[in-house]
Amino acid sequence: MNTRTRTIASFFSVAMAAMLLGAVVTTQMRPQPALARSADPAAAAAIPARPLGPPTLETFRDIAHGATPGVVNINTKKLVKGQRNPFRDFFGDDMLDRFFGPQGPQGQGQGRGPEMEAQRSLGSGFVVDKDGYILTNRHVIEGADQISVTLASGRTYDAKLVGKDARTDVALIKIEPKEPLTILNLGNSDQADVGEWVMAIGNPFGLWADGQVGGPSVTVGVVSYKGRGLTLGVRGTAVDMIQTDASINPGNSGGPLLNTRGEVIGINTMIITNGPQQSSGVGFAVPINVAKEILPQLRTRGRVIRGWLGVNIQSVTEALARTYHMKEAKGALISDVTEGSPAEKAGLRPDDIVVAVDGREVRDNSDLTSYIASRAPDTTVHLKVMRAGSDLGTFPEEGVARESRSESEGRSHQGMTLQNLTPELAAELQLPRSFKGVVVTQVEAGSNAEDAGLQRGDVIVSINGENVDDVHEVEKELVKAKSDGVARVRFRRGNLYTFTTLKLD
């Protein structure tokens, strides 16, 4: 008998908590809308979308001449402990002091203790405010004891760090300008499209020397891809980057990526190479909308406090969608809910699929993660959730041949050998004695179970949303799912829960 599922569309209102360095923080702050700005990062004037015409030589020339004065050279210095003077190791301190004085033969800073050396690094940034606020990458200024900024005029200013965010690799610094500044307009990165012409501006390889009159370098390319999820600074999180073939090299970090309207749509951040650390046509920029969402917090707090639901999620694959009888593979599948979290209090549970948040479609897990992270603590969000449940009758007991548990446990099920979870086995796997599930004890090479990513020691807790407490129940659910050709398996590995799809022969 073919047991189908029905889909229930539910709406949940979730009051989010805050997540800061792993701690739960409660504070009142209203979310700022992610709108396009011009000069002031705190402003919220939307730039209307309009089609981009074909670029000409004059287009690139005008953008370069208009934008380069707003791009800056960032020079940082970090003091670190260096190597002890090798002359002292050979001759001894007293002899060197007698001949060369207490500072040693290499002048100042060569005393008896460990030497302090200055590590310097170069990067780029761009002005976003007439008061001297400058956007750049966090990794450009991370750990710096001194930050200096050189403008196109050649004038150099000391800069102070205002705020930084590890998750997005964005930082905000400030100078006290004594001259008018060229301010770059911040565009709407959501409107950028693959194949669209873009311009990258920065200071590759430090060609524009600190304190000298000059300017940054300009390169041109196209948007190669949008939404390339890459981890920048916090494990387990990703930023949907803009990929471009505009030449980006060391020193370009923190500079702007502009469209043919001269608006900043990204912050040039990283490259991927297989050899030397130089451009290979695969560069990435943080979308400017990501930076705009956190700018108010960077400016007022110096750090970003993000909303937190308390769920583990994964994208809905084509195979998973088949097990839910969904017409399209989309949404964020909840694989676990943290006890006491806003999600648990709202009634969310594993097997739920979030398909929309505050009226916005959720295509995959990154859509939900990015949106929730952009919301402030103590903000209420509205989730549209699909919940699957059997409603076409119960699978008849006589449909499954009864076997003794020992016989059932010894058999291979789609290439995996299963064992009931005893209290002793639960202790060995560091699980609570009352934990329910079925243990995978062996996986055959080339089997459906191996293709599904299952491993020895995994504990299967449900199949197609039905909890399984013993091997017989696993068999029963697999038989029920056989007409679909695939089953959705939720399992625990270590302390994490996840879903996979098991092909059924």
Provide the annotated active-site residues: 139, 169, 253
Token pair 């890459």 is at which residue? 230
Closest CA to 268 of 285, 288, 245: 285
8 A C-beta contact, residue 26 and residue 377: yes
How far is it, in rounded angstroms, from Cα 14 to Cα 386? 16
Could you please report the per-residue DSSP string of 401-435?
Answer: ----HHHHHHSEETTEEEEE--HHHHHHTT--TT-
Q: Quick one: tokens of 265?
A: 């749509």
How many residues appear in the chain?
505
How far is the C-alpha of 89 from the C-alpha of 84, rounded, in Å?
8
- Cβ partners under 8 Å of residue 389, min gap 6: 5, 6, 8, 465
450 and 414 Cβ atoms separated by less than 8 Å: no
Is residue 457 within 8 Å of residue 493, measured between CB atoms?
yes
Is residue 476 a contact partner of residue 400, using CB atoms and an 8 Å limit?
yes
Listed residue (362, 329, 263) closest to 39, CA to CA: 263
Spatial CB neighbours of 200, under 8 Å, sequence gap ≥ 6 = 218, 219, 220, 221, 244, 246, 247, 248, 252, 255, 256, 257, 258, 268, 283, 285
Q: How far apart are the first and last CA of the chain?
A: 17
**Residue whose pair of structure tokens reads 């995996």 in the numeric block:** 416
- Residue bearing tokens 């329910």: 436
Residue 481's SS3 state is helix
